[in-house]
Chains A and B, each alone.
Chain A
Amino acid sequence: MAILTANGIKKSFGDTQVLRGIDLEVEKGEVISILGPSGGGKTTFLRCLNFLEQADSGTLTFLDETVELAKANKKQIRAIRMHTGFVFQNYNLFLNKTALENVTEGLITARKMKKEEAVKKAEAALLKVGLSDKADAYPNQLSGGQQQRVAIARALATDPAILYFDEPTSALDPELTKEVLAVMRDLAKEGMTMVVVTHEVGFARQISTKAVFMENGVVVEAGAAPEFFDAPKTERTKEFLRSMSSKDV
C-alpha cells in the first residue's frame, strides 16, 4: 500500500520554475533515492512534501488523507509533520539542548509525552545510532557525523511513517560519512520507509528499492533498483551516473 503519493507538484521562486510537475509514489518499507545534478530541485521537492516550502500546485496523499499542497491548512500540515521525519544536510540540531534533549524536545512539547517516557524513547533512539555515551553532550561538542546521527535519532524517536533525508552526508568528510551511512543502512534493513536525496551513488544503489533521476524540475527517469543503476533507460541518466561514479573513487 502506498504511504505517500505526490501528484503534479509545481513550485516557482519568482520567475524560475523549480519544480515542473513531480509525481512520486512511496510504498511502505521502500527506500527511494533521488539523484540529480545540483539545482535540479531535489531539496525543494522534499521541502514541499513537509511544507517547509509551499508548493504552487499539486496534491499529496499521505496515510490516506489527500491535501492540496497550495491550500493545506495548519491542522493538515501539522498532522503530516507529526508522522514524518526530516534529516537536513546541516543537521539543524537545537544548539541550546543536549543530544538527549534534542530528541526528547519534540516528544515532550509536540506530543505531550511524559518526561520519563520521552527520555526512555530518546535513549533507545540514541542507542540505535550508537551515541548512548554522548547523551549529555551539546551539539557544539560533537563531530559533524555525531550531530547528524543525533538528528537521525531525533527524527526516529517520533515514530515517523516516512523519513526524508536531504543529502545527509554532503557536509561530512569520508570517515564521518561512513558512520552516518551505516546508520541509514540499518534503518533500511529494518524496513524503515525512506526518501533519500543523495550524491552517493554507490550507497544509493545498495540501499534503494527504487531510484529517481531528477533534473530541471522534472523526473527524467524513475525505476526499480538495481536495474535503474545497472541499466538506465535514458541516455541522460546513464551519463549522470557515469559522471557521478567517476567522482566516487
Chain B
Amino acid sequence: MSERVIDILLESFPKILIPGLLRTIPLTVLAFAFGLVIAVIVAMIQYANIKVLKEVCRFYVWVIRGTPLLVQLFVIFYGLPGVGILIDPFPAAVLVFAVNEGAYASETIRAAMEAVPHGQMEAGLCVGMSWWQIMRRIVLPQAFRTAFPTLGNEMISMLKDTSLAANITVTEMFMTTQRINAKYYLPLALYLEVGFIYLMFSTILTRLQHYGEKKLAAYGKR
C-alpha cells in the first residue's frame, strides 16, 4: 500500500467515525427505541384481540413488511413535501426506521407473548390481578426475555441499514465516506474502511446482546 493511501485512510478515519457516533449510532438507538414502543403497543393490541384496532395493526405490519425500506424513505422525504409536509433528513430517517422496526419487532414480540403459557394469565386473574397488571408484570417480562435475542439481531441489522439514510441526505458514515471518496477516488480502501467501522459497531452490539442474554437467563433454566 502506498504511503498516500495510508495517509488518506488515517486522516479519514476520524472523519468517518465522528458522523458514525453523531449520526449512525443516535439514529439506530432512537429509531430502535421508538420502534420498540410501537412494537409493544401493536403486539398488545393483537394479543388482546381488540377488534378494529387489530385490523389496523395487521394492515400496518403488512404494508411495512411488504415494501422496501428505501422506498419508504423516499416516500417520506421526497414524497411528502409534495403535499406540504417537510421533514428534516435526520428526523425523517428516525421516523422511517422506527416505523419499520415497529412492524418487524411487533411480530417478534407478539410471537413471544403467545409463547407465554396462557395459564399464567388465568392464574393472575384468579388472584385478583387486572389484565394490565398481569401483562406488565408477568407476560411482558417473559415475552421480552424470549424476544431478546431476535430483537438484538434486528437492532444490528438496523445499524447496518442506516446507511440507506445517505439516500435522503443524512450525513451519516456512508455518505461521509462517499464524499471523501469523491475527493480522493480511493473506493476500495475507503469503503473497506467504513465497512470496518460498521463491523466495530456491530461487534460491540453483539457483545452487549450476549451480555444481556446472560443477565436475563437468571430465572431458572428452561
Contacts and interface: CB of A to CB of B under 8 A. Distances in A.
Interface stretch (A14-22, A80-88, A223-231): A80-88
A134 B222 CA distance: 18
Given A106-B129, A109-B133, A158-B128, A52 B222 contact: no
A96 B128 contact: no
B115 to A, nearest CB: 11
Contact of A138 (B120, B123, B219): B219
Interface of B: 116-117, 119-120, 122-130, 133, 137-138, 141-142, 145, 219-222
Contact of A92 (B123, B129, B133): B123
B126 A84 contact: yes
A85 B130 CA distance: 15
Contacts, number: 82
Contacts of B133: 109-110
A149 interface: no
Contacts of A82: 128
10 closest residue pairs by CB, A with B = A106-B127, A138-B220, A140-B220, A110-B128, A92-B119, A92-B123, A86-B126, A82-B128, A138-B219, A109-B133
A96 B141 contact: yes
5 contacts: A78-B128, A81-B125, A86-B126, A92-B119, A98-B219
A122 to B, nearest CB: 12
B127 A90 contact: no
A210 interface: no
Nearest to B216: A96
Given A109-B133, A139-B220, A140-B221, A94 B124 contact: yes
B127 A52 contact: no
Query: What's the interface size class on A, roughly?
Result: 20 to 34
A109 B117 contact: no
A58 B101 CA distance: 48
Interface string A138-149: 111100000000
A2 interface: no
B33 to A, nearest CB: 23
A88 B119 contact: yes
A236 interface: no
B142 A81 contact: no
Contact of A52 (B126, B138, B142): B126
A210 to B, nearest CB: 23
A84 to B, nearest CB: 7
A73 to B, nearest CB: 14
Contacts of B126: 50, 52, 81, 84-86, 155
